Amino acid sequence: MAGNRAVAYKGPGKVEVIDTDYPEFELKDAPGINTANIGRKVPHGVILRTVATNICGSDQHMVRGRTTAPTDLVLGHEITGEVVEVGPDVEFIKVGDIVSVPFNISCGRCRNCKERKTGICLNVNPDRPGSAYGYVDMGGWVGGQAEHVLVPYADWNLLKFPDRDQALEKIMDLAMLSDILPTGYHGVVTAGVGVGSTVYIAGAGPVGLAAAASAHLLGAAVVIVGDMNEQRLAQARSFGCETVDVSKGAPAEQIEQILGVPEVDCGVDAVGFEARGHGKDASHEAPATVLNSLMDITAAGGALGIPGLYVTGDPGAVDEAAKKGSLSISLGTGWAKSLSFTTGQCPVMKYNRQLMMAILHDKIQIAKAVNAKAIPLDDAPKGYAEFDAGAATKYVLNPNGYIKN
């Protein structure tokens, strides 16, 4: 049996590249695998040789020790690959296809999947709606920061690229289709961004930058990105965004200097539960800060897109309530202003084909926007450390040498 190498969580602040089992068309017992999924047959799946697999901010939450992720969990939910084996029930996907893998696993059969709510599939996670590769409490499907990975329900889940040579030429852009580009796009779509909109995006990490690029794609008039990391703010300015440094204070006054009014039409939270305060409180964690500030600065009748991750279990939270996902949110402000909120996993399949076409026809240069950088699998620990230190870089692991620098 062929071997496999993968990136595994080894405890707070530590990841390692380990030797692990080559995938089979059956879920085996392993760290993080839901016990009810052990022995589950996957004749509808394929095995991919990984072309690109990205380090995500959601992975970083686990690696910081801010979830209940078990030691030795194989990480990685942003996957692009080449099909090398197909299960007996796979009809349309073929060996040799280059494909993008939505990070949320869905069956294509349940009520939610049929309603395009693939982020909350009812059949792939025995504990709750919704699942993902290599992520805590998401059903225990093995992660894709590896040389090879199993993908279930392949005919449904996989987005096949139409031309192999074109795909490999644009692979750094197409690698963003598994998560951050659809997630950022979902954030701005649910915030109501359209032609002429003014939008404030909290967070200049990869998802925030993808949201900003998506806002431009949708015709926003002004895109403002807020963060306290100057390197990341500079990256946002590199493709036409205005920026706000929240270490200097709450965003309203700085937004007023840009727009003439202290509010925007649309707000996006691309930060999530490890948010920090603004101004003099910027060094302290305050998980409700972004949500509350967005309600303050979003115009009455507007909407908030919330692709930033919030969890129900956070061992490192600042107080007992936050450890259970309970935050001091000013819901009264949201109610008084008739604001709309959209939270949860992005349903990647709702957007990924259209975004693929935008990439293939040069309507968006997402790899440039997020400063994507390919690194070998063995450099994953270094990539995690640099990303955690605030590097304005989207790290793309290149485990099988498909990406030519």
pLDDT at 4: 95
Distance CA 321, CA 327 (A): 7
Q: Which sign, positive or negative, has the C-alpha torsion 184, 186, 188, 191?
A: negative
The predicted structure's pLDDT at residue 198: 98
Nearest one of 305, 313, 304 to 273, comparing CA atoms? 313
The residue-averaged pLDDT of 105-116 equals 97
d(CA 315, CA 306): 22
Does residue 251 have a pLDDT over 70?
yes
Total residue length of the chain: 405
Q: Name the CATH topology of 180-343.
A: Rossmann fold (3.40.50)
- Looking at residue 1, its pLDDT comes to 46
Domain boundaries along the sequence of the chain:
3-179+347-397, 180-343
HSE at residue 405, side-chain half, CA atoms within 13 A, is 10
Higher pLDDT, 313 or 254: 254
Confidence of residue 33 (pLDDT cuts 50, 70, 90): confident
What is residue 314's predicted lDDT score, i.e. its pLDDT? Answer: 83
Q: Provide the mean pLDDT of the chain.
A: 95
Q: Residue 139: which pLDDT band, with cuts at 50, 70 and 90?
A: confident
> What is residue 313's predicted lDDT score, i.e. its pLDDT?
82
Average pLDDT over residues 68-95: 96
In this structure, which topology does domain 3-179+347-397 adopt according to CATH? Quinone Oxidoreductase; Chain A, domain 1 (3.90.180)
d(CA 288, CA 304): 14
Phi, psi dihedral angles at 248 (to 5 degrees)? -90, -5
Confidence label for 376 from pLDDT (cuts 50, 70 and 90): very high
Edge to edge, what strands does the sheet with 198-202 contain?
A: 242-245, 222-227, 198-202, 264-269, 298-306, 340-343
Q: pLDDT tier at 181 (50, 70, 90 boundaries)?
A: very high
Please compute the mean of the pLDDT values over residues 365-374 and round it to a whole number.
98
Question: Residue 110: pLDDT band by 50, 70, 90 thresholds?
Answer: very high
**335: which residues sit within 8 A by CB, 6+ positions away?**
none
Report residue 249's pLDDT band, with 50, 70 and 90 as the boundaries.
Answer: very high
pLDDT digits (tens, 9 = 90+) for 325-357: 899 999 999 999 999 999 999 999 999 999 999
pLDDT > 90? residue 300: yes
Neighbours of 321 (CB within 10 A): 12
Q: Which long-range contacts (CB under 8 A, 24 or more apart) does 332-336 make?
A: 333/292, 333/295, 333/296, 334/295, 334/304
> Can you tell me the mean pLDDT for 128-132?
94
pLDDT for position 50: 98
3-state SS record for the chain: CCEEEEEEECCCCCEEEEEEECCCCECCCCCCCCHHHCCCECCCCEEEEEEEEECCHHHHHHHCCCCCCCCCCECCCEEEEEEEEECCCCCCCCCCCEEEECCECCCCCCHHHHCCCHHHCCCCCCCCCCCEECCCCCCCECCCCECEEEECCHHHHCEECCCHHHHHHCHHHHHHHHCHHHHHHHHHHHCCCCCCCEEEEECCCHHHHHHHHHHHHCCCCEEEEEECCHHHHHHHHCCCCEEEEHHHCCHHHHHHHHHCCCCEEEEEECCCCCCECCHHHCCCECCCHHHHHHHHHEEEEEEEEECCCCCCCCCCCCCHHHHCCCCCCCHHHHHHCCCEEEECCCCHHHCHHHHHHHHHCCCCCHHHHCCEEEECHHHHHHHHHHHHCCCCCEEEECCCCCCCC
| pLDDT interval class at 315 (50, 70, 90) | confident
- Res. 286 pLDDT band, cuts 50 70 90: confident
In the block, residue with structure tokens 């490192």: 316
- pTM of the full predicted structure? 0.96
At 316 the pLDDT is: 83
Lowest mean pLDDT among 229-238, 275-284, 295-304: 275-284
| Position 54 confidence tier, pLDDT thresholds 50, 70, 90 | very high
- Provide mean pLDDT across the span 124-146: 93
